[in-house]
Amino acid sequence: MKASRLLIAVLFLIAVTAATASAYEYSVTNIEDYTWLSDLTPYGTQIADKVKYWLGNAGWTLEFYHKDSEVKKEDFGTSDSSWEGLDEADFHWHTGHGLWNNYDLALYDYSPWKRC
């Protein structure tokens, strides 16, 4: 009797955990080939693949994966368009350059003379 209650409790916990994990969505952006900044190839793809592997195996659903020129400002929720990338997922992972001095988004074609 105790063994069956324990088995039921374990199965319940597994079911709750699996149901919770499968309800999560994530997105990934990866910019590794830049026209002006130093490239991050192949590290961006390697990191993105790891993120997709770990979250996918945990039951998360990939909402979108954009790479290089596919990555747009809208992926980061920076405009009032109908597509707001970050609004579509519970977790977002970005690999790419960050610019802290002027807070620009360093998209693939970023240059200091071309503002986003």
Task: Looking at the structure, give the CATH architecture of the domain made up of residues 25-116.
Answer: 3-Layer(aba) Sandwich (3.40)
Strands 91-95 and 61-67: unpaired
| pLDDT given at position 5 | 54
In this predicted structure, which of 39-43, 45-49, 100-104 has the lowest mean pLDDT? Answer: 100-104
Q: Rounded to 5, what percent of the chain is helix, strand, coil?
A: 40, 20, 40
- The ranges assigned to domains in the chain are 25-116
For residue 35, count other CB atoms closer than 10 A to its CB: 13
Q: Which residue has the higher pLDDT, 102 or 33?
A: 33
Look at residues 56, 70, 69, 78 and name the one whose alpha carbon lies nearest to residue 109.
Answer: 69
Question: CA-based angle 113:106:35, to the nearest 5?
Answer: 70
Most confident option among 22-31, 36-45, 47-56, 97-106 = 47-56
pLDDT at 10 over 80: no
| pLDDT given at position 101 | 63
Q: 52-69: per-residue pLDDT in tens? A: 999 999 999 999 999 999
For residue 50, count other CB atoms closer than 10 A to its CB: 11
> Counting Cβ atoms within 10 Å, is residue 21 exposed (0-12), middle (13-18) or buried (19+)?
middle
**Average pLDDT of 57-85?**
83
Paired tokens of 93: 């992972």
The model's pTM: 0.71
